[in-house]
Amino acid sequence: MPLTKNLSMGLIIIFLALSSNLATAGKPPQTNRSLTDPSYIKEIGKWRNERLEEINGESGWNTLVGLFWLNEGKNRFGSDPANDIVLPRNRAPKVAGSLWLDKGTVRLSAKLEAGITNEGNRVGDLVLKTDADGWPTPLKLGSLTMFVIRRGEKFGLRVKDKQSPARTHFAGLEYFPVDLKWRVEAKLEAYVPPKVISIANVLGMVDSMTSPGALVFEMNGKEYRLDPVLEKGSKQLFLIFADKTTGKQTYGAGRYLYVDPPGADGKVIVDFNKAHNPPCAFTKFATCPLPPRQNRVAMRVEAGEMKYAASEH
């Protein structure tokens, strides 16, 4: 066989191998129509690697080991079961300190010898910002990281452990085959004024979120409309949706998708190949928002992240 033909056959074999199925993150994604677009394969591979870090990295969702709602006044924390906030055994002193909640302000009170640090410095008394302030004040104690979150009028201490069992026994991520047909062009039909949507979460709380408009697109000759919302401090459109794979091939509480804001023509690329599970698929200590009724689409979105193997739903 001529050398040029051998070379051509070899390149084809290599390219097809690079485009093979991805059962877990970190391997080249399986593709259908995207076989002719190696730059897109690379884009999806990069996104999946970032997704893997988001879930199972040193500060990923799999490190969550506790969420404790604070009472007004003193909330003592440490590894002793008698504390208001009980930290993992062998990870903290029996009593590490207290968190004081005073009319919406949270303050740490601890002895320096407890070993709690913030930005590398030991701290004893410190007023703590919450995630509602944009970026919460992180507290470190050995392998633990702690910070305060706010949900409505409730304040809670979220605790992460980079040595958590969920992280060390991670089952990996699985995806539908990549297919360019699920990378659709949509138009953002603006709401004037922006529409306020009630979004419930897994705890039964309801938040009011703003939708700038409806994402309108066609699939298989049928029109679909989805309402994205805006998260504080982000320009991206946040899409919370469910479809006919929900509770079967995909997570029972729906999936998430982030979309870049529209250009001057109002057009948006909605890439369902980047649809992913909410944090609640991996931990019971998250407070995930649920799809509003209008975002429950009557079709099978066979794209993006599938149900987590170790998930109960």
Regarding whether 231 and 99 lie in a shared domain, the answer is no
Among 161, 184, 203, residue at a domain's last position: 161
Per-residue pLDDT of the chain (313 residues; tens, 9 = 90+): 443 334 333 333 333 333 333 344 445 565 555 456 889 999 999 999 999 999 999 999 999 999 999 999 999 999 999 999 999 988 999 999 999 999 999 999 999 999 999 999 999 999 999 999 889 999 999 999 999 999 989 999 999 999 999 999 999 999 999 999 999 999 999 999 999 999 999 989 999 999 999 999 999 999 999 999 999 889 999 999 999 999 999 999 999 999 999 988 889 999 999 999 999 999 999 999 999 999 999 999 999 999 998 776 6
pLDDT for position 12: 34
Q: Is residue 253 part of a domain?
A: yes
pLDDT for position 102: 97
Regarding whether 77 and 38 lie in a shared domain, the answer is no
Beta pairing, strands 206-219 & 85-86: unpaired
Q: Is residue 286 part of a domain?
A: yes
Print burial letters for 65-85: b (CB count within 10 Å at least 16), e (below 16). bbbbebeeeebbbbbeeebbb
pTM of structure: 0.83
Domain count, the chain: 2
Q: Is residue 302 part of a domain?
A: no
CB 262 within 8 A of CB 236: no
pLDDT for position 232: 86
pLDDT for position 16: 34
Regarding whether 102 and 23 lie in a shared domain, the answer is no
- Rounded to the nearest angstrom, the gap between the alpha carbon of residue 142 and the centroid of all alpha carbons in its chain is 25
Print the domain residue range for 277.
12-57+176-295
Regarding whether 263 and 238 lie in a shared domain, the answer is yes
Q: Is residue 304 part of a domain?
A: no
CATH code of 92's domain: 2.60.200.20
